[in-house]
Structure 1
Amino acid sequence: MTEGNFVDYIKIYASSGKGGRGSAHLHREKYIAKGGPDGGDGGRGGHIILRGDKNMWTLFHLKFKRHFRAEHGGDGSSSRSTGHDGADVIIPVPLGTIIRDADTDEILYEVIEDEQEIILLEGGKGGRGNWHFKSPTNQTPRYAQPGIDGQEGWYRIELKILADVGLVGFPNAGKSTLLSVITAAKPKIADYAFTTLKPNLGIVEYRNHQSFVMADIPGIIEGAAEGKGLGHHFLRHIERNSTLLFLIPADSEDIKKEYEILLNELRKHNPELLDKDRLLAISKSDMLDDELKEEIKHDLPEGIEALFISSVAQQGLMELKDKLWQMLN
C-alpha cells in the first residue's frame, strides 16, 4: 500500500433525515359519511451512524466521499398508517477513531471496539397524525404535526492507531527494519531520513501462539511537537500505545542526549505519554564488540532498561520480545 493510501485525518459534512409529516386524514368509507380522524404518524428521519471495523486501518475510504445525508422519514397516511423510517447512513471507521466538532475542536466520541455503533446525528422525529389530537371537545381535528428537522454539521475524524508497542526514534534509527524482521509487515526501507511517511502496523508472533501489535511511527526530530518534520502529524499515534520502545542506533554520537530529546518532544506533545512503560533498544549493535558495549553502558540514560539488538544480524530479538511481553502483561 502506498503512502497516499494511509489517511488518518478527514473532515466530513453529515446531515440526518427529517421526520415525516403526520397525516390529517378523516376516515371515509361507504355508509360512514363522517368517520373520525385516522391520520397516521410520520416516520423518523435516518440517523448518521459510525461503526467500528477491526479490519480497517485507515480513513482512505472517506477521502473522496465527504458528504453524508440520511433519508427523510415517510409521511403518515390514512387508517393510522405510519410512514416509513428514513434509511440510516452507516460510516465504517477503524478502531482508534476519534470524532471532533469541526468548529469547537471538542472531542465528541471515540470508537475503540469492533462493531461499536455511535449515533453521530439522530434523525428528526416524525410528526403525529390527527387521531392523537381527538378529544371530546374536538372530535374531528383537521391538523397534524409536521416532522422535526434533522441535524447537520461538519466533523473532523482522526485516527489514533491502536497498538500495544509504539516505536519511537529519530529518522533512520532502524525502526522499519526492526518491524520488518520481527513481524510480517513490509514497510518501505531505505538509507535516508523520513523513508517512512505513514505509521506501519505489524503483529509480533510470540511463544505459544501468542502475539502483540507493534507500530512504527514516522521519525521524530527535535521540534516535532511544534510541527517540524513529520512528528507533529504522527505524535498522536503514540498516545494509544501502552508501551513505548525507544530505538537509538549504536553509532549515535550521544545516546543519552538523543533519548532526552525524544522524551522532551513527547512531553511537549502530551505529558501523559511519560506515564507509559518505556524500554530502550540500542539498534545496529552487530557493529559492537563486548568491550564497546561495556563502554556504552556507562553512558546510557538512567531510569530506563536498555537492550542491545541488531535487526539485520538477528541479535537480541528474542530477548527484546520477552521483555516487551513481560511489560505488556
Structure 2
Amino acid sequence: MADHYEVLGVARDASPDEIKKAYRRLARQLHPDVNPGEDAAERFKLVTHAYDVLSDPDQRQRYDLGGDAGAFGGSGAGFGGFSDIFETFFGGGAGGTRAGRPRSRRERGQDALVRVDLTLGDVVFGVHRDIEVDTAVLCETCQGSCCQPGTQPVTCDICHGSGQIQRTVRSLLGNVVTSQPCTTCQGYGTTIPYPCSTCQGQGRVRARRTVSIDIPAGVETGLRLQLPGSGEVGPAGGPNGDLYLEVTVAAHDVFSRDGDDLLATLEVSMIDAILGTSVTIDSLDGPVDLEIRQGVQAGDELTIRGRGITPLRGEQRGDLRVGVQVVTPSHLDPKSRALVQELAKRTRPAPPHLAEFHPGLFSKLRGKFKR
C-alpha cells in the first residue's frame, strides 16, 4: 500500500492543519464530480483513506509505528473524509439542510423617523403637536390579506405548502438531500392568484396621517422621542414599527440654555449701575421684576429662581441667570462731562492699575454674556 504521507504530498512531521489543507486541495482535483477519469477515482480513494488515517491521532500513531491503521473501508475509515468532502463541495454538514416551516407574509413594519422643530419656549413648558407623517398604512380594501376581496391565498402546487424545494446531490457515499426556498411562492407556501388591486398584493399602502404627541419640557436638540407602534404597518398587515421624533430647538434672540437654566444679558447704564434700580424684564413665561443693587459690576450675575427649564425627568425648574453688562457712555455734552468730573473729584477713584491675576475671569465673563 502506498505511503499515506506520499499520497497526500506532506512531510511525516506535518501538522494536522497541513494534512487537512493537502487533502482538501487533492479532493477538489480528484473528486468524481470534477474529474470523471478512472485513474482519478482510484487516486481519490487513496487520498481519502490516507486522510482518514492521518487525521486521527491514534491511527496516525499506530501507522507511524508500523502498525495497520485500519484497512481501507474498515472501522472509523471514511467518516472524516466524507464530512470534509461535503463541507468542501456543499458548505454544510453531512445531514443536508433540513426543511423549515413556510415563511409568514406578515412581518413587523419598519420604524419611521420624523424631525420636529421647536422653539425655546416649547422646551421650557412642553408642547402638544399634531405631526404629519407619510408612512405605510393598512390597506382598507383587503385589510392586510393581500387578496382581492372574496378571494384567498392558495397552496403552492410546486412545494405543496412547505415553502421548500428539495434537491438530491450525488456524493461519494450516496445521495444527500438539500432544501432551498421555493422560487414559485418565495418560501411562503401559498400563492395569491388574485392580488388586491389597491395595494398590489402588499396588504398596505402609502398614506399621510396625523399623529398627536405631547412633547415634554426639557427636551434638547438631537433627542429622539419614541412612540411605540406608531411607525409603518408591516407587510400583509403585520404589526407596526415605532415612530421616532428627532428634536431640533431653534436658537432664541435673547435667551440661551445652560442645562436646566436660562441665560440672558442685561445692559445697565453706568448711572443705574452706580445708583441701583429696579426693572421689569420679559422672561419666556411673562414679565418678572428684577432688582439691580447699587454698585453692581460688569460680569455680575443676577438670579431669578424657578424661571428656567423644567427638566425632562423632574419637576424642579431651573433658574434664569442674568449677566450684567455695564454700558459706558461714549459721548457726553459739556455739562454732563463737568458733572462726571465733579463726581470723580468727590469720590477720588483709584487710577487704572494692574490687579491680581484671576485665571477664570475671562471665561467667567464669557459665560455670563453668552447667548
Report the TM-score, using the length of structure 2 for normalisation: 0.26
Bigger radius of gyration = 2
Report the TM-score, using the length of structure 1 for normalisation: 0.29
